[in-house]
Amino acid sequence: MKNKIITLSLLSVMLLSGYEAQSQNKKQTKTLPAKSLSTKYDAEIDKLLSKMTLEEKIGMLHGNSMFSTGGVKRLGIPELKMADGPLGVREEISRDNWSAAGWDNDFATYYPAGGGLSATWNAELAYTFGNSLGQELRAREKDMLLSPAINIVRTPLGGRTYEYMSEDPFLNKKIAVPLIIGLQDNDVMACVKHFAANNQETNRDFVDVQIDERTLREIYLPAFEAAIKDAHAYSVMGAYNKFRGEYLCENDYMLNKILRDEWGFKGIVVSDWAAVHTTVKTLKNGLDIEMGTPKAFNDFFLADKLIAAIKAGEISEAEINIHVRRILKTLFQVKAIGASDRAKGSIATEAHYQDAYKIASEAIVLLKNENNALPLKLDGIKSIAVIGNNATKKNALGGFGAGVKTKREITPLEGLKNRLSNTIKINYAEGYLERYEVKNKGNLGDITMNGPVTIDQLDPAKLEEAIEAAKNSDVAIVFAGSNRDYETEASDRRNLNLPFGQEELIKKIVAVNPKTIVVLIAGAPFDIEAIKNKTNALVWSWFNGSEGGNALADVLLGTVNPSGKLPWTMPKNIMDSPAHATNSFPGDKTVSYAEGILVGYRWFDTKKIEPLYPFGYGLSYTTFAFENAKTDKKSYAANETITVAVTVKNTGKVDGKEVVQLYTAKSDSKITRAAQELKGFQKVSVAAGKSQTISITIPVKELAYYNVATKKWTVEPGNYTLKLGSSSRDIKKEVTVTIK
């Protein structure tokens, strides 16, 4: 039964995600829905409600531990048990404070962070990610995963850029939807966060975000909307900050009007930790559960204060029932009540490590490869210098916020050792030290601070050792970038500089060994222009999960042909980036998103600014040509779907995967538009010398803009150019269609 569900869901993922159904039944166009919240338990829920005391009901509306809400034992209602988060199931936290519970059975698989998953541009892998993680969550006997985190990457400096998916709403939703479906296929619920307009850490506790309506609809909400309407996520997390003057956990417009009334959301809204500020208002405006950080749980806004408010007649018990009913509904849905066949799950299994490996290996992005420096040719190679603190740095834990306690995190150095024969000598040198200025390291929990200040002077002895290693080796690989202490929740970075003196180190290494490859391990853009100009080969990896080091070694050695593409723009200069160019980051008490819809590449392309690396960019060890691009028709009605076919030819010598990206443009538009917008993509595997024809479908309604006057999505008639490229700046074919 379980298998059947998974197969159906996988098919729905492929269809929902623009993936051509690879089955024999190529003509199948029907989209199978994800499982929505069932109404079949309603009578049973009413019965339970009629037996509950007011105190028991209130107990379900707030944390009774750091990661659970109260149950009602005598009625068989369990606690609702939650766990972070985006990188895998977080270790068990104590019931009443943030320290680890000290369990020995909470080791989990560490999955690649959001940026890495998106860089795969592979919806099937997003399903795998969710499904694998859902199994781990069940093995830990939890009901809700506080994930996925899908806020738009508005500024490259954002502390959570590594955790989030993309700067683009389309890629964001196409990764989020299958992930949620995969997760919820395991009798657990996703908690999609942080709803919404939470795009910076600076002042996140109070900053009031102002976004114009069109931008909100076109950029910041689509992935959340798809998470609700297409993936049927059962819960949503309200964000910390304010939106248009009202905290997001008590924001009538966002929670009642948009989420519930417009999108038909029937699930539960959970607060971010300590993001609730009122009692009656928060409930009336759409929140269901208050979670928080240490204080007595009955001091929460939705605990004793709520009982007092009911007694004072400020809110009725009937209104409380609405929230309790929703929570019960989700508990029934995930079989936490009333079922004996709930998925049991499994955790930290070899199969899950292999899921993490598959994702990691498709996430790695090849940024530069002059003179075929990569893959490494081992003939005649006797020694390799492995340089840099990041060769051994682990990132499953670190920084502020959720990480994963894992028994397996293969570092880059271990990956190379695993994959290289021991006849090749590895000369390891740490090269740079990860050091911070103590006074600016910040206190955990101080979320108004700027990010850590690094010490960027190289240690002379470490530098000398690294230079010696590079001199005495046939090839040098420098592992640089950042880590999860430097990129972290609760603060934004101060600038794009490579930390810890890495730039100087790399220049000195290249000077003594021209055969130097640079690998950057990071979750967000950095200024790597000087490095790019110095080296022949540049590879980008991520906080890439338990198997990250093995995947990286396989890419460096050519066992895996890289196929990752950047999910955001890497600017040359932070001031080129839209939020910074418009001087609208981070704001003070208020931040107005002055760039409007021109987020990410939309800004760079429209303003004709050259990025360092464009959105969607990534090389391969082979080359691809696009041939024969055509649409099924020349003109379409508003309710139709455009099918674009293109033949991808592998013109190189090795098998590889290419991501065909489809951008649309309307140069004669009567409204302000971005120069181009991503509206479809497909990853395709093509053997050397062979061709594959793929087709990408775009429902015409995807071409709509949000018309503020009519409050409707509106498709402007006329001509549209469909641009097929291997990145946003490498368009290979164009086709024009007419919309009637």
State in angstroms the smallest separation of the CB of 474 from ligand BGC: 45
Q: How far is the CB of 336 from ligand BGC (least distance, A)?
A: 20
Q: Which residue, 239 or 552, is less far from ligand BGC as judged by CB?
A: 239
386: which strand partners? 428, 477
- Report if residue 405 touches ligand BGC, rule: CB under 6 A: no
Beta-sheet strand order (sheet of 730-739): 635-636, 730-739, 718-727, 656-665, 677-686
205/367 Cα distance (integer angstroms): 37
Number of residues that bind ligand BGC (CB under 6 A): 8
CA distance 656 to 684: 8
CB 152 within 8 A of CB 42: no
How far apart are CB 204 and ligand BGC at their closest, in Å? 8
CB of residue 93 to ligand BGC, shortest distance in Å:
8
For residue 48, give the H/E element and its range: helix 42-51
CB 520 within 8 A of CB 540: yes
DSSP conformational letter for 256: I
Determine contact, residues 658/684, Cβ cutoff 8 Å.
yes
Least distance to ligand BGC, CB of residue 238, Å = 11
Residue 103 C-alpha from the chain's centroid: 28
Which of 193, 405, 408, 657: binder of ligand BGC (CB under 6 A)?
Answer: 193
Binders in 98-117 for ligand BGC, by CB under 6 A: none
Whole-number Å distance between alpha carbons of 397 and 391: 16
Q: Contact 565/365 with Cβ under 8 angstroms?
A: yes
Applying the rule CB under 6 A, the residues between 79 and 98 that interact with ligand BGC are 84-85
Name which of 275 and 467 has its Cβ closer to ligand BGC: 275
Q: Which of 65, 100, 99 is nearest to 79 (CA)?
A: 65
Nearer to ligand BGC, 84 or 106 (CB): 84
Q: From its phi and psi, is residue 301 left (phi > 0), alpha (psi between -120 and 50) or beta?
A: alpha
Token reading at 132: 């694998």
To ligand BGC, the closest distance from the beta carbon of 68 in angstroms equals 12
Residue 179 · residue 611 · CB < 8 Å: no
Q: How far is the CB of 233 from ligand BGC (least distance, A)?
A: 15
Contact pattern from residue 41 through residue 80 relative to ligand BGC, giving x for each residue in contact according to CB under 6 A and a dash for the rest: ----------------------------------------
Kindly write down the DSSP assignment for every residue of 562-594, as one continuous string: -----SS-B-SSGGGSHHHHTT-SS-SSEEE-T
CB nearer ligand BGC, residue 195 or residue 332: 195
Q: Which bin fits 380, alpha (ψ -120 to 50), beta or left (φ > 0)? A: left
Site for ligand BGC contains 402 (CB under 6 A): yes
Smaller CB separation from ligand BGC, 193 or 534 = 193
Buried b (16+ CB within 10 A) or exposed e, 436-450: beeeeebeeeebebb
* Cα 371 from Cα 353, distance rounded (Å): 34
- Check if the beta carbon of residue 471 is closer than 8 Å to that of residue 379: no
Sheet strands side by side (includes 383-387): 365-369, 537-541, 516-521, 475-481, 383-387, 425-429
Q: How far is the CB of 162 from ligand BGC (least distance, A)?
A: 13
Pick 146 or 591: Cβ nearer ligand BGC = 146
- In the bound state, the residue with its beta carbon closest to ligand BGC is 146
Q: Please give the full DSSP string across 175-193, using - where no structure is assigned.
A: HHHHHHHHHHTTS-EEEEE
Tell the burial category of 630 from Cβ atoms under 10 Å away from its Cβ (0-12, 13-18, 19+). middle
Task: Select 84 or 492, whichever has its Cβ closest to ligand BGC.
Answer: 84
Q: Give min distance, CB of 291 to ligand BGC, in A.
A: 7
- Residue identified by tokens 């039964």 is 1
CB of 148 to ligand BGC, least distance (A): 11
Q: Least distance (Å) from ligand BGC to the CB of residue 644?
A: 38
Residues near 121 by beta carbon (within 8 Å), at least 6 away in sequence: 171, 564, 565, 567, 616, 659, 661, 681, 683
Site for ligand BGC in 141-160 (CB under 6 A): 146
- Laid out side by side, the sheet with 242-243 consists of 246-247, 242-243, 208-210, 590-592
Determine, following the binding rule CB under 6 A, whether residue 273 of this chain makes contact with ligand BGC. Answer: yes
Residue 201 binds ligand BGC, judged by CB under 6 A: no
The nearer residue to ligand BGC, 45 or 227, going by C-beta atoms, is 227
CB-wise, 86 or 549, nearer to ligand BGC? 86
User: Smaller CB distance to ligand BGC: residue 201 or 702?
Assistant: 201
Q: What is the rounded distance in angstroms from the CA atom of residue 298 to the CA atom of residue 292?
A: 11
Please give the torsion angle defined by the CA atoms of residues 142, 145, 146 and 150, in that order, rounded to the nearest 10 degrees. 180
Cα–Cα–Cα angle for 81, 87, 93, nearest 5°? 40
Kindly name the residue from 106, 230, 272, 355 that is annotated as catalytic: 272
Nearer to ligand BGC, 403 or 415 (CB): 403
Tokens for 453, please give them.
């200040």
Q: Residue 494 CB, nearest distance to ligand BGC (Å)?
A: 21
DSSP assignments along 400-447, one per residue: SS-----S----HHHHHHHHS-TTSEEEEE--S---B-GGGS--TT-T
Minimum distance, C-beta of residue 264 to ligand BGC, in the bound complex (Å)? 25
Q: Is 272 a catalytic residue?
A: yes
Which helix (H) or strand (E) segment holds residue 43: the answer is helix 42-51
What residues are labeled active site? Answer: 272
Q: Which residues bind to ligand BGC, rule: CB under 6 A?
A: 84-85, 146, 193, 272-273, 401-402
